[in-house]
Each structure stands twice: as C-alpha cells, then as structure tokens.
A = this chain, B = another copy of it.
Amino acid sequence: MNIGFIGLGIMGTPMAANLVRAGHTVVGYDVSEQRLDELVSHGGKAAGSLAEAVAQAHIVITMLPDSPQVEEVVFGSAGLLEYGAPGLLHIDMSTIRPETSRRVAQAATVKGIRAIDAPVSGGERGAVDGTLSIMVGGRAEDVESAREVLGVLGTTIVHVGPSGAGQTVKAANQLVVGGIYGLVAEAIVLLEASGVDPAAGLDVLAGGLAGSRILELKRHSMIKREFAPGFRIDLHDKDMGIIIAAAREAGVALPLTGVVAQLIAAARAQGHGSLDHSALLKVIERINA
C-alpha cells in the first residue's frame, strides 16, 4: 500500500518505520530535513512537498502537534484536500479538537476523500513497539479499511463512534489521567505533611479501591521526585486546552476538570513544561511551601 505520512516527530518517525517494516511504501513529509533523512534511513521515501506525499497515496496518515497544523495540512492551498486523489483514506492520529476532526471529515467527504480521527495513547514506547491504543472515530466502513494499517501501529483499536468521537475519547482519557495525577499528588502531600511514610501509604492505596494504573506505574518515581518524561507537561497542558474546548462545544460544565486544567497550567507557568506530567506534584508542593 502507498502511505503518505505527514509529521515525523517523536511519535511519527517510529510509527512510519513500523509501516515500512510491515511492507508498505511510505512517503514521508515534515518541515525538518533531518527527520526526513531519518525516515529514509528506515527505508522510507522523502517527499519534497506535502503535495508530493499526498498525491500517490492510498492512505495519508497525519501525526501533528495540534489543531492549527492539521487544519493547514488539510485545508491549506498545497494540502490534502487539494492534492488528495478521490477515494483516498485520511487517518489523522494527532490529538486535536473533536470539532476540528468533524470539520475535516465533512470537507473531505465533499472531495470524495474518506477521513477518520484516530488519536493514540501509549506514548513513545507504544509508538516504537507498535503497541499503541487507538481510539477511532468515523464511518464504520472507513474504519474497517484502516484496520490493517492501524494493526501495524497498535494492539488495541476501538471504533468509538462517528467523526470526532476518537478525539472525544482521547479528551476523556487525558481528563482522567491529569486528574488522577492531581489526586495522587494531594495524597502524597497530605501523607508527608502528617509524618506518614508515603511509600507505605500509597502501597495500601494501590491495593484497594483507590488503585489505578498511575499509582501502579508512577508512585515510586513520584515519591522520589523523578520526573523525566514520559509525557510532557507541555503536551498535557495542550490537551487540557482541547478538553476545555471540547466541553464548551458539547455545552457541558466540568468543575473538577476546570481546576485540573489550571493546576497543569500552573506546572507550565512554574517552568516544568518539559517534565513528565506526574510533575503536577510540584504544583501541589509549591502551593504548600
């Protein structure tokens, strides 16, 4: 299959490499020459322009930082809607606003292009290993056409609803993840300020109804204040912006999420943008010292 791959960052490059390894012809495009060279070193081809990456493709995958970049690639004058062949399948794996995904899908349909949103979780590790979780929104038949390719990139592929639904589920995921970090941070601060060994305390929590994947994976590093990423605060802050926008579009108020968003914004304001999102603990500590 000819696959155009737009956006060769920390996630995109290993994903594109996995597609090459699975036997696909991958033509990549990125604003960075260096990243294109890396794709070539993995056996992919480098396009000289967005149009070139799109023109011969059966499938175009986009893995971009945020909504404006996706809008530019799709709606821009040198973009996907302009150069994509009718019948093309566009899989956007970026994490962006659900409303943008819906607009992309609508505009694509007009051009005879099929578009689905397929944001992921699982991080760099999952991208390298091909073990991402993929939340897919779109028409059932389009999702089916994408399954083979998505199966190269991830192990869990769930069709959660129509266009934008993948993004909404990703938003819900990030809302819960950010919130649990905040709660665990408050638990640690309470335990320590009360003179209780946080490791012993969190061991108990991890084994009961308070248990969570985050407590399981991150409690020891949080207690030791080890915050090497992982998933960066900057990115989680961007995601909180998406969540707040998604709630506004859906017309719902989310009071806890409103506070979590401000705490993550505070982590960034305090200069922790490049730390792991578990560094939310530093915000709860700083508010107390």
Answer yes or no: A284 CB below 8 A from chain B CBs: yes
Q: Are B213 and A194 in contact (CB under 8 A)?
A: no
A234-253 interface with B by 8 A CB criterion: 241, 243-244, 246-253
Chain B, residue nearest A277 (CB): B209
Answer yes or no: A262 CB below 8 A from chain B CBs: yes
Q: Which residues of B contact A217 (CB under 8 A)?
A: 209
Q: Are A263 and B259 in contact (CB under 8 A)?
A: no
Chain B, residue nearest A187 (CB): B172
Q: Which residues of B contact A169 (CB under 8 A)?
A: 191, 196, 200-201, 204-205
Q: Which residues of B contact A205 (CB under 8 A)?
A: 169, 172-173, 176
By secondary structure, the A interface counts as helix
Q: Which residues of B contact A251 (CB under 8 A)?
A: 193, 265, 268-269, 288
In Å, the complex CA distance between A171 and B204 comes to: 12
Q: Are A187 and B200 in contact (CB under 8 A)?
A: no
Answer yes or no: A151 CB below 8 A from chain B CBs: no
- Are A208 and B160 CB-contacts (below 8 A) given A190-B247, A289-B269? no
- Are A98 and B194 CB-contacts (below 8 A) given A252-B288, A257-B186, A288-B253? yes
